[in-house]
């Protein structure tokens, strides 16, 4: 979309000039507002036209059956799908009885701006009705970071050339009609009118509705209150029914006069609280919003973001698109996580219903690293959500005949709901991904309380799964067979290197944590014999290597397979899983997304430098990037082994995944992990930042098209600023006690306020690998 003529490249804003119905659904995702608890898609205030209506509460879902053509033991029985909850965004406008609908009359101008500094979505529209009356509409929308249950809108109407009679209808609407689903009809049936009415009311300027889902049994409440400002006293009335509550405002205006409506909306949900308790909850949140008032909410939002950007901003000189894109990415990742508070971070955040609103391993491997280094206060809550779902993970492990916990491949509330078992059930690496996030957070924050109360249990139960899933051979080597690694085109593989190395780390970390917190470990039944077994399995972990080729095998025997016929695969044949049977994919050398390459990033300590270069040269040409999770990782390793131009192009693909709608599905919601990946590509790729459980290390290098990169990271209650140019890297400790880091292997001890600069070492030039035909990541030319 950034190449679309209606979109402008600016450093701190995303601007759309004109209304472009060809990208309406995509723009609704791009302009979505959220705080991790509430999500409002960027639909027009008047409700229509729309691509996909969307109002979401994190965790609110409906259940639907997952029937199978043939029964099989261990198949998940129930699916979970995010639902569209009560829409509080709607403010319909009638001008002399003509509804403001931009498909009719004449749209003179339309401008929307997402301000990344203030967290506000602004809209200005000038429209002439079919009867010839022209009005200017201005609206500003926010979802509050500081008042978790609150969203608000300021809506102004001004006639421009004649006296008009205006009617505003501010509504709460449940069970909105959604576009016809292109997917599973069972899901469509579950989502058709998913909310059963329990209570509704309308009094003075206040509206409230309470509903409950049919199968999952979740109660949802929404309430709204209003202030109305105009040159005269407008006439108001309120009414409600099962699925609509409405405040109507009627007034006449002369040119130059303005009618202003401020709408405050509150939400709450629960699976256990009573109707009166939930009613009181949303009323209290609404009272808090009214007490702050619109100016107060705006000021609180700006203050929250000022603090965030002070510690999290990334500055990029030399590429205006990347500068805008990385700030857009940081903002949306923050929106997905800031107030999630022991709920999941879905793969689409709360920007759309894609992936049914499920959370995957994306969270721990792509999103939480960014947050740990920039906004660590919310990371522990996300991991506590995993701990809260341990009962379901233990049940799943038991069902599969394993010990410990088997965390789900995709879920909303903790139970596995992937019906495709080779990619779901067999993708056990999600366990080690969670453990990796636990280790990273605990080490980088020194949050001992979190490690003791949550980390130990998560590490112990994930380690138990690995020990029961794997086995020692006759030579003592430890193997983990029949699993699916990150590359879903190579399912049910033996000794997947990524899985084995991450499990190895998991096993060792669990043993260490059990020894540090013996009381908690003992309560979980851990003894010295068990920790010794974990250490032995980690020590003897098998890591397949092909001596003839001088590279690691992605999994045992992978390089023996036939190489996919890329020359005979046309550009319209991607993504491959939609055009070829998985049977063909599984038995050939073709990689959906970074797998071994991801292992070299997260477990770089397990590879020699020359091995990384050879591995990348072998696997990059096999990787088709049919997943949005791939390009950022390829950027990191391309930069490390010296392919800076290629790394830069992969960065562009990750950063512009949604702004350019590269996978043609941004309409369903943003790719939160790919957005986080743009930060990873810059900071870990060109910043060369690595952390393998000890000292923070940097090996910075810039591509030709970037002249400067600057970013900040949080490390153990310290804030470190890094600024990189072609002449050197400058490290400044902005907050906290002295910190030791390494620059290109050289130890540096930093003291607050005393910058240290070191030269940037250019990489050794190597032949750049080719990509599969037609899949080179070069970016389109920026339009301006």
Residues forming beta bridges with residue 164, ordered by sequence position: 253
Q: Could you tell me the CA-to-CA distances from 396 to 421, 456, 484, 517 in Å, in that order?
A: 13, 20, 17, 27
- Among left, alpha and beta (phi > 0; psi -120 to 50; other), residue 175 is left
Among 38-42, 422-426, 536-540, name the one with the lowest average pLDDT.
422-426
> How many Å apart are CA 299 and CA 147, to the nearest integer?
12
67-118 pLDDT, tens per residue?
Answer: 887 878 888 888 999 999 999 999 999 999 999 999 999 999 999 999 999 9
What's the rounded Cα separation, in Å, for the pair 644 and 646? Answer: 5
The tens digit of pLDDT for each residue in 675-716 reads 999 999 999 999 999 998 779 999 999 999 999 999 999 999
Judged by average pLDDT, the poorest of 17-26, 72-81, 219-228, 515-524 is: 72-81
> DSSP characters for 556-623?
TTGGGSEEP-GGG--GGG-SGGGTS-HHHHHTEE-BSS-SHHHHHHHTGGGS-HHHHHHHHHHHGGGB
What pLDDT is attached to residue 183? Answer: 57
User: Is the per-residue pLDDT at 188 higher than 90?
Assistant: no
- Residue partners of 394: CB distance under 8 A and separation at least 6: 404, 405, 461
Q: Taking 50 as the threshold, does the pLDDT of residue 770 lie above it?
A: yes
pLDDT confidence band for 201 (50 / 70 / 90): very high
Predicted pLDDT of residue 603: 97
Q: Residue 206's Cα: distance from chain center in Å? A: 34
3-class DSSP string for 280-343:
HHHHHHHHHHHHHHHHHHHHHHHHHHHHHHHHHCCEEECCHHHHHHHHHHHHHHHHHHCCCCCC
pLDDT value of residue 318: 97
Structure tokens at 150: 């609150």
Segment 36-63 shows an average pLDDT of 96
Tell me how far apart the alpha carbons of residues 291 and 428 are, in angstroms, rounded to a whole number. Answer: 49
Q: How far apart are the first and last CA of the chain?
A: 13
Residue 650 has pLDDT above 80, yes or no: yes
DSSP state of 359: B
Taking the C-alpha atoms of residue 610 and residue 607, their distance in angstroms, rounded to an integer, is 8
Query: Which residues make Cβ contacts (< 8 Å) with residue 40, sequence separation at least 6?
Result: 32, 33, 34, 54, 55, 56, 88, 89, 141, 143, 151
Residue 349 has pLDDT above 80, yes or no: yes
Q: Has residue 19 got a pLDDT over 70?
A: yes
At residue 190 the predicted structure's pLDDT band, cuts being 50, 70 and 90, is low
Confidence of residue 372 (pLDDT cuts 50, 70, 90): very high
Checking if the pLDDT of 782 tops 60, the result is: no
CA distances from 295 to 62, 90, 187, 327 (A): 37, 21, 41, 25
- Do the strands 728-735 and 718-725 form a parallel or antiparallel pair, or are they unpaired? antiparallel
Provide the pLDDT confidence category of residue 224 given band limits of 50, 70 and 90. Answer: very high
- Average confidence (pLDDT) over 574-584: 94
With a CB cutoff of 8 Å and minimum separation 6, the contacts of 370 are: 330, 333, 676, 679, 680
pLDDT of residue 2: 61
Neighbours of 540 (CB within 10 A): 16
Residue 1: predicted pLDDT: 55
Mean pLDDT of 372-401: 96
pLDDT at residue 78, rounded to an integer: 87
Q: Does the pLDDT of residue 630 top 90, yes or no?
A: yes
Q: Which tens digits make up the pLDDT trace of 722-749?
A: 999 999 999 999 999 999 999 999 999 9
729: cis peptide before it, omega within 30°?
Answer: no
Catalytic residue among 488, 505, 649, 653: 488
Cis-peptide into 49, omega within 30 deg: yes
- Cβ within 8 Å of residue 718, ≥6 positions away: 733, 735, 736, 737, 739
What number of helices (H) and strands (E) belong to the chain? 20, 34
β-pairing, 746-750 vs 588-589, is: unpaired
How do residues 24-38 score in pLDDT, each as one tens digit? 999 999 999 999 999
Please give the mean pLDDT across all residues of the chain: 95
323-346 pLDDT tens trace = 999 999 999 999 999 999 999 999
What's residue 186's pLDDT? 46
Query: Is the pLDDT reported for residue 147 higher than 50?
Result: yes
What CA–CA distance (Å, rounded) separates 238 from 353? 31
pLDDT at residue 464 greater than cutoff 90: yes
- Does 227 have pLDDT greater than 70? yes
The dihedral built from the CA positions of residue 446, 449, 452 and 455, taken in this order, carries a sign that is: negative
Taking residues 139-165, what's their average pLDDT? 97
Pairing of strands 195-203, 259-270: unpaired
To the query of whether residue 488 is one of the catalytic residues in this protein, the response is yes
Question: What pLDDT score does 783 carry?
Answer: 38
pTM (2 d.p.): 0.96
Percent with pLDDT over 70 in the chain: 97
> Which residue has better confidence, 6 or 748?
748
Provide the pLDDT for residue 249: 97
Q: What is the mean pLDDT of residues 292-305?
A: 98
């Amino acid at each position: 979309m950034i190449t679309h003529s209606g979109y402008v490249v600016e450093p701190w804003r995303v601007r759309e000039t004109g209304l472009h119905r060809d990208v309406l659904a995509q723009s609704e995702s791009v302009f979505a507002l959220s705080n991790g608890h509430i999500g409002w898609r960027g639909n027009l205030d008047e409700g229509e036209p729309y691509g996909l209506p969307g109002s979401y509460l994190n965790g609110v879902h409906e259940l639907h059956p997952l029937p199978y053509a043939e029964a099989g033991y261990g198949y998940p029985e129930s699916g979970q799908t995010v639902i569209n909850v009560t829409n509080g965004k709607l403010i319909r406008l009638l001008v002399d009885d003509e509804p403001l609908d931009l498909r009719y009359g004449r749209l003179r101008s339309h401008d929307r701006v997402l301000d990344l500094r203030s967290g506000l979505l602004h809209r200005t529209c000038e429209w002439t009705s079919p009867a010839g009356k022209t009005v200017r509409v201005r609206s500003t929308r926010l979802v509050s970071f500081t008042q978790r249950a609150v969203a608000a809108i300021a809506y102004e109407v001004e006639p421009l050339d004649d006296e008009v009679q205006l009617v505003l209808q501010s509504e709460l609407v449940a069970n909105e009609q959604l576009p016809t689903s292109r997917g599973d009809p069972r899901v469509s049936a579950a989502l058709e009118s998913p909310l059963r009415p329990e209570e509704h009311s309308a009094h003075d300027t206040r509206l409230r509705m309470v509903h409950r889902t049919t199968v999952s049994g979740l109660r949802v409440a929404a309430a709204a209150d209003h202030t109305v400002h105009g040159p005269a006293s407008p006439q108001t009335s309120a009414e409600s029914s099962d699925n609509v509550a409405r405040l109507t405002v009627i007034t006449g205006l002369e040119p130059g006069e303005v009618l202003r409506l401020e709408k405050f909306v509150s939400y709450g949900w629960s699976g256990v609280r009573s109707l009166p308790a939930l009613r009181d909850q949303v009323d209290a949140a609404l009272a808090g919003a009214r007490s702050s008032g619109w100016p107060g909410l705006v000021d609180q939002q700006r203050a929250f973001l000022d603090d965030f950007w002070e510690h999290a901003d990334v500055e990029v000189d030399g590429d205006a698109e990347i500068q805008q894109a990385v700030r857009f990415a940081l903002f949306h990742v923050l929106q997905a996580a800031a107030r999630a508070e022991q709920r999941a971070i879905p793969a689409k955040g709360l920007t759309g219903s894609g992936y049914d609103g499920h959370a995957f391993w994306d969270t721990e491997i792509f999103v939480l690293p960014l947050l740990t280094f920039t906004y660590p206060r919310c990371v522990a809550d996300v991991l506590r959500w995993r701990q809260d779902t341990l009962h379901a993970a233990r049940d799943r492990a038991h069902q599969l005949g394993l010990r410990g916990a088997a965390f789900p491949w995709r879920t909303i509330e903790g139970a596995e709901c992937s019906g495709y078992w080779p990619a779901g059930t067999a993708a056990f690496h999600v366990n080690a991904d969670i453990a990796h996030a636990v280790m990273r957070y605990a080490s980088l924050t020194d949050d001992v309380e979190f490690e003791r109360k949550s980390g130990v249990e998560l590490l112990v139960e994930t380690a138990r799964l690995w020990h029961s899933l794997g086995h020692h051979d006759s030579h003592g080597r430890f193997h983990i067979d029949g699993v699916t690694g990150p590359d879903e085109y190579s399912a049910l593989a033996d000794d997947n290197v990524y899985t084995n190395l991450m499990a190895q780390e998991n096993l060792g970390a669990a043993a260490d944590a059990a020894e540090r917190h013996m009381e908690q470990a003992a309560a979980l039944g851990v003894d010295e014999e068990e920790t010794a077994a974990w250490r032995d399995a980690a020590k003897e972990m098998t890591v397949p290597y092909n001596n003839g080729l001088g590279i690691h095998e992605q999994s045992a025997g992978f390089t023996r397979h036939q190489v996919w016929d890329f020359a005979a695969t046309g550009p319209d044949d991607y993504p491959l899983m939609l055009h070829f049977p998985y049977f063909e994919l599984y038995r050939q050398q073709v990689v959906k997304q970074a797998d071994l390459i991801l292992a070299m990033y997260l477990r770089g300590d397990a590879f020699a430098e020359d091995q990384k270069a050879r591995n990348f040269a072998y696997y990059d040409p096999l990787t088709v990037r049919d997943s949005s999770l791939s390009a950022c990782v390829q950027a990191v390793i391309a930069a490390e082994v010296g392919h800076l131009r290629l790394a830069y192009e992969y960065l562009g693909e990750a950063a512009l995944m949604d702004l350019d709608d590269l996978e043609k599905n941004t309409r369903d919601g943003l790719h939160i992990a790919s957005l986080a990946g743009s930060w990873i590509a810059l900071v870990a790729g060109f910043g060369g930042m690595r952390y393998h459980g000890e000292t923070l290390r940097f090996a910075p290098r810039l591509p030709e098209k970037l002249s400067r990169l600057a970013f900040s990271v949080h490390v153990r209650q310290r804030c470190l600023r890094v600024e990189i140019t072609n002449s050197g890297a400058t490290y400044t400790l902005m907050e906290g006690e002295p910190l030791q880091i390494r620059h290109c292997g050289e130890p540096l001890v930093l003291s607050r306020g005393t910058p240290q600069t070191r030269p940037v070492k250019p990489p050794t030039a190597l032949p750049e690998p080719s990509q599969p035909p037609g899949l080179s990541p070069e970016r389109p030319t920026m339009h301006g």
